[in-house]
A and B are shown apart, each in its own frame.
Chain A
């Protein structure tokens, strides 16, 4: 390699958020004209790293060198001025503006201080779109009218409308059809031929093999491998790098005999168009069933559909043999389902309220007569439910927002325990929960199952699913590709299945 300095070199980047160290001394080096792939499991720190690179997060420590010079990326605009463009997974386009207006947003061509809306902007946009292989997108159309794939092209055109030297693409292929992916790869090829560097994030190993030059693997906020050859490193090695862990989780023992009895939850042919297909599953009392899969595999959507928060396009959910009214949370709750959703703060907790009120919210009729709440009974019941789960602090009057992530999760579980629910749906139960508190949460879930609860668990952390569940369904792009007892699977096997999608053997 030529002795010239790399285009970008980040070294020793650390970034902490309350309770989490998202980046713990990450190094990344990108050469001009290469496709540098960033790999890592969910929560490994990829998103945080690219946000630092985009100027959206400020690192706590560490140095960024751009073309041999130290720089600080104070804001997204500062990064853009240097020639760093980022295409996020969630597109950041303004739906009510035209394609051309979106492409030039923030750097509109002006004349005497007025924005020129006319031909020049449209012409340059048309040229960009043509270069991207999509001349059929009209610059004057509203972005809201375009398909997801077309919107992505617009997003890319916006990146290219700057004088760009480095483009970060966060899972750009996730929303694309195969032939659109081919077009994307052609564009990436064109860009690198012009000397532009691409940082490419994807879960799909086969894509990385096709277009990647080098790979950096992140795990638990650290770069565990820097600059591996993308085409020749064996899959086994990459997967091993992604999964090798410093922290060993302690999982509770499984019961000696597999739980028998009739399934309390039965899901048959459940589907939601574009999200997941014909799902069948059964969960018995005392059993923990895990769904393993990557982001975008339909995991959360499945749980929310079972729970009635989303309406299925086909299929049925039965509890104790009785079909639930589709798309009705209230029917599900009445039948004995409880959901601990992925986004605890946004979907489960009333952050201004006390623990008691958060716990009692689903069982208010039990402490009230004619709508009048017996607050003593409410507080006492909430307290015994939170004590059963060893929620700390042992005081149901504190605001729930003052609790740690693990204890907030316990408050959600206490809600359903108090309600007397029989099927617990857990979506990423340990997200935002620090490592020490996880083991305790695992023990709680297992104990609830031992007491007769049926548990359906979703997690992007494969070891969690394997360690906690009795039976595992592996999902890939909305389909179950493999079902097996958890003890017959290991992490490599599951990651192979979810990434390569090789058929179940």
Chain B
């Protein structure tokens, strides 16, 4: 009987020998090039911001604002990165954020205070993700269609709950978190949540079996299935995860705006997908990078901020965003074809 191969005992095996160093290094180097180029773009933007509006852009308050704004969409993008890495797409994230934010801010929910709002936002997010996941993984629906349907329904339900009105939050614990007094060493709580979600996301994607399965399903779903991975269950979990991130983002948005609105999260799906793609996650699946996604979010948020400071309207911003997406993907295609 063939015994399973046991890990080697002598430690020499784990030390890379000299003849394999080049290939190993080139892999790391290639990943670095991508990250470095994104960092380069971000640095260039900061220089541009610093030159055009030296006093306002580099002001601590402005940088805190940029990071705070990045936090909400950033948390959504982390979830989206997982879904895209698995070869899927989630078009419903913006609508889920809207639904979760209004459900969590109804008069009834607010009676339960801080915990009630947090719990409801997360639960609504996960619930929507569950529906998406079941439809896609077990109902055999195409992710694009299933989440498009969720987009429409969740937005509709959000409108029904609010009747178009803004639901003001009157729970002190929530509002306090948006105040400057709650900043720790100058870092807003929202940004800390974003940082924690990012770190956990990075670890899960790169260091756990869940992350491996995600990459395997996205890289080659048939191969993953034949290797004994439960592809359907993995897909279900991924949409749950995306919904969870939306729930957390909705909670952050409630803190940020002190209210819940059915128009919240408008076009978040496009921003999150765009950030993930320019970050280096493959839309076809099989490769995902949390670092890249977060840099993508920071790049977009910084652009928006610079444009706003320079009194350029959102139409110009949109055009610039579009151009950046095209440029980033073209550059990636070039590098992909040369490797």
Contacts and interface: CB of A to CB of B under 8 A. Distances in A.
Interface of A: 285, 307, 309, 329-330, 333-334, 339, 341, 346-354, 357, 361-366, 368, 371-373, 375-377, 379-381, 383-385, 388, 393-395, 397-399, 402, 415, 417-422, 448, 451-453
A333 B216 CA distance: 17
B6 A361 contact: no
Given A347-B220, A350-B224, A383-B8, 13 more contacts: A329-B225, A349-B223, A357-B212, A361-B212, A361-B227, A368-B208, A381-B7, A383-B13, A395-B19, A395-B23, A419-B4, A420-B5, A448-B2
A394 B24 CA distance: 12
A361 B229 contact: yes
Contacts of A347: 220, 222-223, 226
Contact of B226 (A307, A354, A398, A422): A307
A377 B7 contact: yes
Given A368-B209, A384-B7, A417-B5, A348 B227 contact: yes
B208 A381 contact: no
A210 B74 CA distance: 70
Given A346-B222, A353-B215, A365-B209, A399 B27 contact: yes
Q: Which of B6, B224, B228 has the most CB of A within 10 A?
A: B228
Contacts of B216: 350, 353, 361
A395 B220 contact: no
B81 to A, nearest CB: 16
B14 A385 contact: no
Top 9 A-B pairs, shortest CB-CB distance: A420-B4, A333-B228, A395-B20, A350-B219, A380-B7, A452-B1, A364-B209, A371-B208, A381-B7
A339 B227 CA distance: 8
Contacts of A419: 4
A415 B227 CA distance: 9
Contact of A376 (B6, B14, B287): B14
Given A353-B215, A379-B14, A399-B27, A388 B5 contact: yes
Given A348-B227, A377-B7, A451 B2 contact: yes
B4 A366 contact: yes
Contacts of B7: 377, 380-381, 384
B226 A353 contact: no
A352 B287 contact: yes
Mostly, the B contact residues are: helix
A352 B1 contact: no
A362 B2 contact: no
Contacts of A372: 207-209
Contact of A397 (B23, B220, B228): B23
Contacts, number: 125
Contact of B5 (A361, A371, A373, A385): A385
B215 A350 contact: yes
A307 B225 CA distance: 11
Given A349-B223, A372-B208, A418 B4 contact: yes
A451 B2 CA distance: 6
B137 to A, nearest CB: 15
Contacts of B79: none
A422 B2 contact: yes
B24 A395 contact: yes
B59 interface: no
Nearest to A375: B207
A30 B13 CA distance: 61
Given A373-B208, A373-B212, A397-B27, A362 B227 contact: yes
Contacts of B227: 333, 348, 361-362, 415
B6 to A, nearest CB: 7
B210 interface: yes
A379 B16 CA distance: 11
A368 B216 CA distance: 16
A351 B219 contact: yes
26 contacts: A307-B226, A334-B228, A346-B220, A348-B223, A348-B226, A349-B220, A353-B215, A362-B228, A364-B213, A371-B210, A372-B207, A373-B207, A373-B208, A375-B207, A377-B7, A381-B7, A384-B7, A393-B20, A395-B16, A395-B20, A395-B23, A397-B27, A398-B20, A422-B1, A451-B2, A452-B2
B230 interface: yes
A333 B231 CA distance: 14
Given A380-B8, A384-B13, A398 B219 contact: no
Contacts of A388: 5
Contacts of A285: 1
Contacts of B1: 285, 422, 452
A398 B220 CA distance: 18
A379 B24 CA distance: 13
B3 interface: yes
B153 to A, nearest CB: 28
